[in-house]
Chain A
Amino acid sequence: MRFRFQRKYLAIPYLVFFLLFIIVPVFLIIYYAFTDRATGLPSISNLVNFFSDRTNVDVLVISLVFAMATTLICLLIGYPIAYILADKKYNKNAVIVTLFIMPMWINFIIRTGATRDLLTWIGLGGGTHPVFATLVGLVYNYLPFTILPLYSTMLKMDRSLIDASYDLGANPFQTFTKVIIPLTKPGIISACTMVFMPTISSYVISDLLSEYNIVLFGSYIDLYFNQSNWNFGSFMALIMLLLVGLSVLLTRKFDKSEDVRTSLW
């Protein structure tokens, strides 16, 4: 039989690439996570080891707390900014939005190093203030990811509803909680996922900013992997994968927006 070209075959390289380099590696991680390091046999020893050592669980909890704190601070700072930028009364110029994205063009390591040098210079460096420095570094890096989805939701928001709320006698607080927040919910949720998930796994920022005083889950995985303890490292990577999957499931029904990174171009 002669091979006949069909347009759908064009997806074959894409599919093969994904199978080989994205899907197979994930299964490999699962395989190593449930294999004993010494014997090479299937076992749950990594799982038992992980949860029987308080330090491991603590690192996981601390990472979750840092991720939540970063998300919250980003929302507190970014929400008013997005609101102001999307309001024609205050801002007629879309260029200012671009200005908030532009720092993302500067190499991530250089930006992080610059933040650390600045904090050290003014005496708030990671050596003396590790928690503060780490939070500053994380917020600094993820703030654009918060502002963009909020901004695009707020642009689409029907502002006459806010006037209507005032006309009907609501005070500013009621208008905010009962009208503005519900209207911007998709933006809030997508901002949260854009910040929360990368923060749990990020390790470069916390390593550099806290001057290795704070160990987040990402650095922990990195540590075990560098000691070539693949099985344990893989098990922790699997936990990370589960967290990611969980966040995707939780946000799936709300989140229709595109990834923020695509708005770079």
Chain B
Amino acid sequence: MVKKVLAKSYVYIILFLMYLPVFLLIVFSFTDSDSVGIWNGFTFKLYGDLFQNKELMQAVLNTLLVAFVSAIISTIIGTLGAIGAYYSRKRARKFLEGITQLPIVNAEIVMALSLAVLFVALSIPFTFFILVVGHVVLTVAFVYLSVKPRLVQMDPNIYEAALDLGATPRNALYRVVIPEILPGIISGFMLSLTLSLDDFVITQYLKEPSFETISTYIQKILAKHPVPPEVRALTTFIFLIAVIVVIVNNLTAKKKQKSFKMQEGSK
């Protein structure tokens, strides 16, 4: 009994410590002070300031834009890559699997630097498009890895059955294979979205000087100042979105598990 209490309190203490910095930002987002630790009475003023801060709002917009565009491209290239690799001969498949590991294990700064060197060497200017390429480099391998297990689990006969029933290869792919692997595609998309939203290093190296995302905008300020007051208010929103996403994700995961169990049971 004592052991159980000790074990539980250990887990909760560490959890508490992990959330402490973020909770502080949220608590102090309800007061008007220059930094965390100074309480000047309860007010929603920072939330007003947040939406007045044009640079920060632009950075939020830019972050979302880069993340969505690059996640869409990553999902398309990564999904097609996984399907193609699955139907390739063993040697080609092994090669594709091998190179897929590269961006996953590689240090982000090495990828960022090497891409920057490439574009400068080719004298390609750093535009929005180049930044998107950088984010696709960061995320595309994760889409591949999300889709691959779905393909492996898929019954290979259903594609053949579609062809036998008169579907063209393209139709069979759209109507049979894609729906079958859709959960993997969706989780790949969400994963690349998350990685891209969180990214700093690749963005820092490949962005136009005037283009700021949340990460680069705040990092620039943090070099000399504490977390800006408006960002504390922004953190509340990010935290709320995270909570919602995690809850929805958990609920759907439970549902999936249930239907999976039912399928297993019916066999």
Contacts and interface: CB of A to CB of B under 8 A. Distances in A.
- Are A and B part of the same complex? yes
A265 B96 CA distance: 23
Contact of A14 (B80, B109, B223, B249): B80
Given A8-B84, A17-B140, A21-B115, A107 B99 contact: no
A7 B169 contact: yes
A111 interface: yes
A106 B11 contact: no
B21 A258 contact: no
Given A14-B78, A17-B140, A259-B145, A265 B109 contact: no
B84 A9 contact: yes
Interface string B232-267: 001100110111011001100000000000000000
A247 B235 CA distance: 36
A233 B205 CA distance: 13
Interface in A150-201: 197-198, 200-201
Contact of B18 (A14, A80, A100): A100
Contacts of B18: 100, 103, 140, 143
A101 B78 CA distance: 25
Interface residues of B, number: 91
Contact of B110 (A6, A24, A237, A262): A237
Contacts of A197: 105, 107
Interface stretch (A41-49, A51-59, A114-122): A114-122
Given A7-B169, A14-B78, 9 more contacts: A6-B87, A85-B11, A108-B215, A110-B238, A116-B226, A121-B36, A218-B107, A241-B106, A265-B249
14 contacts: A11-B84, A11-B92, A22-B111, A32-B117, A77-B14, A80-B10, A96-B11, A110-B214, A110-B238, A113-B227, A115-B21, A218-B109, A234-B113, A265-B146
A28 interface: yes
Main secondary structure of the interface of A (DSSP, over half): helix
Interface of B: 4, 7-8, 10-11, 14-15, 18-22, 24-25, 35-37, 76-78, 80-85, 87-89, 92, 96, 99-111, 113-118, 121, 133, 136-137, 140, 142, 144-146, 169-170, 173, 187, 190-191, 194-195, 197-198, 200-201, 214-215, 218-219, 222-223, 226-227, 231, 234-235, 238-239, 241-243, 245-246, 249-250
A40 interface: no
B235 A265 contact: no
A105 B242 contact: yes
A23 B110 CA distance: 12
Given A5-B169, A29-B117, A12 B84 contact: yes
B38 to A, nearest CB: 9
Contact of A117 (B24, B170, B194): B24
Interface of A: 5-15, 17-18, 21-26, 28-29, 32, 77, 80-81, 84-85, 89-91, 95-96, 98-118, 120-121, 140, 143, 197-198, 200-201, 203-204, 208, 218, 221-222, 225, 230, 233-234, 237, 240-241, 244, 247-248, 258-259, 261-262, 264-265
B190 A265 contact: yes
B117 A105 contact: no
A106 B88 CA distance: 39
Contact of B215 (A96, A107, A237, A262): A107
A113 B246 contact: no
A120 B137 CA distance: 36
B191 A261 contact: yes
Contacts of A258: 145
B242 A265 contact: no
Contacts of A198: 107-108
A243 to B, nearest CB: 8
Contacts of A100: 15, 18
A218 B170 CA distance: 46
B107 A11 contact: no
Contacts of B19: 103
Contact of A13 (B24, B37, B81): B81
Contacts of B114: 25-26, 28-29, 237
A110 B235 contact: yes
A21 B137 contact: yes
B136 A22 contact: no
Contacts of B96: 11, 14-15
Contacts of A203: 109
Contacts of A240: 107, 109-110
A11 B99 contact: no
B245 A105 contact: yes
Contact of B113 (A5, A116, A233): A233
A22 B99 contact: yes
A123 to B, nearest CB: 11
Contact of A244 (B7, B36, B106, B146): B106
B197 A107 contact: yes
Nearest to A200: B107
